[in-house]
Amino acid sequence: MTPTTLRRAAAVAGALAVLAALPAAPASAETSCWIEYRVTTVWTDPTSQAARFLGEFTVHNGDTPLTGWTVTAKWLGINQIDQAYNASMSGAPSTYTFTDAGWNGWLSPGATTTFGVFGTRPSIYSSAMPSLRRCTPA
Cβ proximity of 38 and 21 under 8 Å: yes
pLDDT at 126: 79
Highest mean pLDDT among 57-71, 77-91, 119-133: 57-71
Q: Is the pTM of this model over 0.75?
A: yes
User: What pLDDT sits at residue 138?
Assistant: 86
CATH of the domain spanning 3-137: 2.60.40.290
| Confidence category of residue 31, pLDDT binned at 50, 70, 90 | low
Over the stretch 15-30, which tens digit does the pLDDT of each residue have? 444 344 444 444 444 4
Q: What is the DSSP string of 46-115?
A: TTT--EEEEEEEEEEE-SS-BS-EEEEEE-STT-EEEEEESEEEEEETTEEEEEE-STT--B-TT-EEEE
pLDDT at 113: 98
In the structure, what pLDDT confidence band is assigned to residue 49 with cuts at 50, 70 and 90? confident
Domain residues of the chain, as ranges? Answer: 3-137
Please check the confidence at residue 13 and state whether its pLDDT lies above 70.
no
Paired strand residues for 116: 56, 85
